[in-house]
A and B are shown apart, each in its own frame.
Chain A
C-alpha cells in the first residue's frame, strides 16, 4: 500500500476521535483500522498508540489475542472454511485440503498474487448447510471438493 505517513496519521486520528474520552475503545478502533487498511501495519499500530496514549505492548497484546486481527497483508478475497463439528462430520477437512492444494497456501496463508487468503474458522453458524465455506460475504453450502474450481473462479 502506498499510503504516506501523513495519510496514515490523519486516517488514524479520524478513527480514534470518537473514542478519545470514552472507555473500551481499543477493540473497535483496531476493527475500524483494519477495515480501513486491510490489516494492521506497524505504522498504524504506532499511530494508534501515540494518539490514544496506550503502550504498544498492550495494543499488540490485544491484537494478537483475537483471531480477527491481522498483522500481515491479506488477499483481496478471504476464503473461510468452516471447521465446526457439523461441517467436520460432513467432510469439511476434504474441502480445506483441496483448497490448500489448489491455492498453494497453508492455513491462514495468502496467495502470492494477493488474490486469496485461506482461513479455517471454528463455526460459521450455518450448520444446516454443512459443509460450508464463505468467500468475503457470500456463503456456499453443501460444498463438494469438485465444486471449488467454479466457486473460486467467481472471484478475481
Chain B
C-alpha cells in the first residue's frame, strides 16, 4: 500500500449505490487522475455508513469531513476546492436541521455522536473487499489469540462473561448455546450463520455482510473452534446479491491467506465454509426451518427437542447464530468479555444495531448501547419526525414485534423492558409512525405478511392468522362488529400459546399491542365507521372546504370518476357516491382546500 495525504471514502452500500454512488466513485477516480493527484489521494469504496437517507455519502480523511447527497456533477468542485485548495465545499456538508454551523467532524454529527459502534465498527470505514484493510483494523487478531493462547472452553467462557445474547431476536445467551453444542457428542458438527434477514424494515445484517464480511467469518471461525465444528454454512437471502458477492470474495481471500481451510495458522484446527442462497421464505429464519432448507427440503420448522445442539443439520450437532451475533464475537475475544459486559443494562449487555426507518428525518442504521431510550434514538439520533408532524407510534421488532406509544419513549431498551410492554427486540427494526398512519391498517399490514409467510404446518398459525386477517380486513372496510375486538384478543392469545414456532408465537403481537394501546382507533373504525388517521381508503371521505376553494377546476380535471362538479371560480363539490377515493384531487389542489376525513 502506498502513502496518501488524503483518503476519500465513498459509500458502496446498497442505499448509496441506488442513489448513484458508483457514478460519483468513477468521477472521483477519473477527476483525480486527470489532475495527476491519484498518487497522493486514495479513493476507497466502503460499506454502509448507516445514514442512507443522506446518500451518496463521501467522507474525506484525515479531516473527517462528511459530505452528503453528492452527485457526479459535484465532483469537479469537490476536487478543485477541497482536495486541491483545502477549502471545504460548504453547500455539500451535512447541515443538520438546516442550521449553518462549523464544519463538524463526522463523529460529531448528532446522528453519529450518540452511537457506539462495535458490530458496525468497520462499516463505512474500510473497503470490505480488502482483507488487508480488515487486518489493519485488528481483524483476525481474535482468531490468532484464540488459536494460540486459548482453549475452546476458554473461548466459550469469554463469550459467557460478555453476556452476549442472540441478536436475531431470540435473545438466548450465546455462550450458553455454544456450550450445549460443544458438549454434544459427535465428531461432525456444523456452525451456521443465519443471514436470512426477512423482517421487513430491518437491514443491519445486509449492511454488515456488505460492509464488514470478514468480521462475520472471523466470528464463525471462533465459534467453530470453540464448539469443535469443522464445517459451516452462511444461509443468505437471494434478495441480497451484493452481500453474496462480497461473501464469496471474503471466503476466497481468507482461504488464500490460510485463515480458512486445512490447518489454519499451522494448528490442527480446520474449517470449511459454504454459502447457501435462500429461495425466499420468511419462515426459514427459524432455525429448524433454515436447516431443512439447507438440506434441500421445504423450509418448515419442526418441534424441539431435539434441539439443533444435539440433532441439527443432517442430524449432526449444530449451532446457529445470526449475522450480528457472529460479528460481535471477534471484538469480545479481542477485548475480553468484561469489556463487553461493561456496556448495557443488567441483563442485556453490549450494544444493539437498530434499523431506524419510517417517518423520521434521518433513516439509517444506528448502533447504541442497550439501555438507550427510544426517545434518544428517534429524536436525537433520528432527528425527530419528518415534516414536523406528530410522533404517534414506533413499531419495534418487525412483524413479530409490537407498536409502542409516546408513553413508552423513555423506556431504556433491553430484551426485558420491551417484552414487558408487549413488544420484542426482534432483529432491531424501528419503524416510526406519525399521525397519518392508521394503527389498524398497520396491524393488518403485518398480519398480511405473517399470514402469507405462514408455512402451514401447524393449524393455529395457518388457520388462526387467516381468521384474524379476515376480521381486520372487515374492520378496515367499515364492516367491523363490536364483538370483533374480543375475537381478535381471543384468537391472538390462543395462536401465541399454541403455535409450533416463533413465527406463529409472535405473529399476533402487532394486533395485540395496537389493541392495547390504540383501542380507540379500532373503536372509531367499528362504531363510527371512521378512520381517524384518514388512511383506510374505504372509510375516507374527501370533502372540499367551500371557504378555501378558489374554483380553479384543477380537481375536477384530474378526477378519474367525474365526481367533482362546480362552475369556474365557484366552490366545487365532490359527489360521494361517485368518488373512488384515489386522492388525486387533494394532490392537485393548489390551495389545500380538500380535506381527507
Q: Is there an interface contact between A84 and B200, defined as CB atoms closer than 8 Å?
A: yes
Q: Is there an interface contact between B363 and A130, defined as CB atoms closer than 8 Å?
A: yes
Can you give 17 A-B contacts (C-beta < 8 A)? A26-B296, A27-B296, A28-B276, A68-B279, A82-B200, A85-B445, A89-B442, A122-B449, A125-B240, A126-B14, A126-B52, A127-B202, A127-B203, A127-B357, A128-B51, A129-B52, A139-B17
Q: Is there an interface contact between B241 and A123, defined as CB atoms closer than 8 Å?
A: no
Most buried by A among B206, B279, B446: B279
Q: Mark B8-24, 1 if CB is under 8 A from A, else 0.
A: 00000011011100000
Which chain B residues (287-309) contact chain A, with CB distance < 8 Å?
293-300
Measured between alpha carbons, how far is A65 from B357 in the docked complex, in Å? 30
Chain B hits for A122, CB < 8 A: 198, 200, 282, 449, 453
Measured between alpha carbons, how far is A26 from B445 in the docked complex, in Å? 33
Q: Is there an interface contact between B298 and A90, defined as CB atoms closer than 8 Å?
A: no
Q: Is there an interface contact between B18 and A85, defined as CB atoms closer than 8 Å?
A: no
Q: B197 at interface (Cβ–Cβ under 8 A)?
A: yes
Measured between alpha carbons, how far is A23 from B358 in the docked complex, in Å? 42
| B272: min CB distance to chain A, Å | 13
Which chain A residues (17-61) contact chain B, with CB distance < 8 Å?
23-28, 30-31, 61
| B64: min CB distance to chain A, Å | 22
Q: Which of A61, A69, A125, A138 contacts B206 (CB 8 A)?
A: A125
Q: Which of A24, A66, A127 contacts B281 (CB 8 A)?
A: A66
Q: Is there an interface contact between A62 and B296, defined as CB atoms closer than 8 Å?
A: yes
Q: Is there an interface contact between B296 and A23, defined as CB atoms closer than 8 Å?
A: yes
Measured between alpha carbons, how far is A123 from B357 in the docked complex, in Å? 13
Q: Is there an interface contact between B358 and A31, defined as CB atoms closer than 8 Å?
A: no
Q: Which of chain B's residues has its CB closest to A129's CB?
A: B15
Q: A103 at interface (Cβ–Cβ under 8 A)?
A: no
Q: Is there an interface contact between A62 and B198, defined as CB atoms closer than 8 Å?
A: no
Beyond A85-B445, A86-B200, A121-B239, 17 additional contacts (C-beta under 8 Å) are: A27-B296, A30-B279, A62-B298, A66-B279, A66-B299, A84-B200, A85-B395, A85-B429, A85-B446, A88-B442, A89-B442, A125-B203, A125-B239, A126-B52, A128-B357, A129-B52, A130-B363
The size bracket of the interface on A is: 35 or more
Chain A hits for B229, CB < 8 A: none
Q: B53 at interface (Cβ–Cβ under 8 A)?
A: yes
Q: Is there an interface contact between A127 and B363, defined as CB atoms closer than 8 Å?
A: yes
Q: A124 at interface (Cβ–Cβ under 8 A)?
A: yes
Measured between alpha carbons, how far is A65 from B364 in the docked complex, in Å? 32
Q: B431 at interface (Cβ–Cβ under 8 A)?
A: yes
Q: Mark B410-444, 1 if CB is under 8 A from A, else 0.
A: 00000000000000000001010100010000100
Chain A hits for B453, CB < 8 A: 122
Q: Which of chain A's residues has its CB closest to B359's CB?
A: A89
Measured between alpha carbons, how far is A61 from B55 in the docked complex, in Å? 42
| A123 with B17, Cβ < 8 A, contacts A27-B296, A85-B431, A128-B53 known | no
Q: Which of A65, A86, A125 contacts B363 (CB 8 A)?
A: A86
Which chain B residues (356-383) contact chain A, with CB distance < 8 Å?
357-359, 363-364
Q: Is there an interface contact between B18 and A141, defined as CB atoms closer than 8 Å?
A: yes
Q: Mark A135-149, 1 if CB is under 8 A from B, else 0.
A: 001111100000000
Q: Is there an interface contact between B296 and A68, defined as CB atoms closer than 8 Å?
A: no
- Chain A positions within 8 Å of B, measured between CB atoms, are 23-28, 30-31, 61-62, 65-69, 82-90, 121-130, 132, 137-141
Chain B hits for A26, CB < 8 A: 296-297
| A154: min CB distance to chain B, Å | 14
10 nearest A-B residue pairs (beta carbon) = A128-B52, A84-B200, A139-B18, A67-B280, A86-B357, A66-B279, A26-B296, A123-B200, A85-B201, A125-B203
| A111: min CB distance to chain B, Å | 22
Q: Which of chain A's residues has its CB closest to B298's CB?
A: A65
Q: Is there an interface contact between A126 and B294, defined as CB atoms closer than 8 Å?
A: no
Q: Is there an interface contact between B298 and A61, defined as CB atoms closer than 8 Å?
A: yes
Q: Is there an interface contact between B241 and A129, defined as CB atoms closer than 8 Å?
A: no
Q: Is there an interface contact between B358 and A67, defined as CB atoms closer than 8 Å?
A: no
Q: B199 at interface (Cβ–Cβ under 8 A)?
A: yes
Q: Is there an interface contact between B277 and A28, defined as CB atoms closer than 8 Å?
A: yes
Q: Is there an interface contact between B299 and A65, defined as CB atoms closer than 8 Å?
A: yes
Q: Mark B185-224, 1 if CB is under 8 A from A, else 0.
A: 0000000000001111111001000000000000000000
Measured between alpha carbons, how far is A126 from B243 in the docked complex, in Å? 13
Measured between alpha carbons, how far is A140 from B18 in the docked complex, in Å? 6
| B143: min CB distance to chain A, Å | 27
| A69 with B294, Cβ < 8 A, contacts A89-B433, A123-B199 known | no
Q: Is there an interface contact between B17 and A85, defined as CB atoms closer than 8 Å?
A: no
Most buried by A among B14, B17, B55: B14
Q: Which of A90, A125, A128 contacts B359 (CB 8 A)?
A: A90
| A27 with B293, Cβ < 8 A, contacts A83-B200, A128-B53 known | yes
| B84: min CB distance to chain A, Å | 32
